[in-house]
Structure 1
Amino acid sequence: MTIRIKFSENPADQTAMTKAGGMIVVPKGKNPMFSFPSEFHYRQYLTYQREMKNALGGNQGR
């Protein structure tokens, strides 16, 4: 089951998407989207995204 989410211009989000096996798709007549081949890949994206934010200090102040 393909999972599609809103496109992000953030380079960290794009890196996480690529590492997770996703790709950028442009449905005919619509805006670009991130596309993942399965829920597993989408969940990997969320994990990589969290890891990257933590590595950049996005988790400070907790």
Structure 2
Amino acid sequence: MSFIDKAKHKAEEVVGEVKEKVGELTGNEKLQAEGKKEQSAANVKQAGDSVKDAASSVTDSIKGDRR
């Protein structure tokens, strides 16, 4: 998983957090819900990043054992 993809996913999470907080402060429930939704989507992407990294590590380990 590339660093750029991971950074984008983290940025999406942070944007969601900001929207949620602004929604809370302004009483804008729609913005607050949108922020939570964006955070959830970003967290799913980050979980996928972790799975891909783990799979890559396992693959690298297996390849190393064969040498």
Same fold (TM over 0.5): no
Structure holding more helix per residue: 2
TM-score range, shorter chain: 0.3 to 0.5
Q: Structure 2-normalised TM-score? A: 0.40
Normalising by structure 1, report the TM-score: 0.42
Higher relative strand content:
1
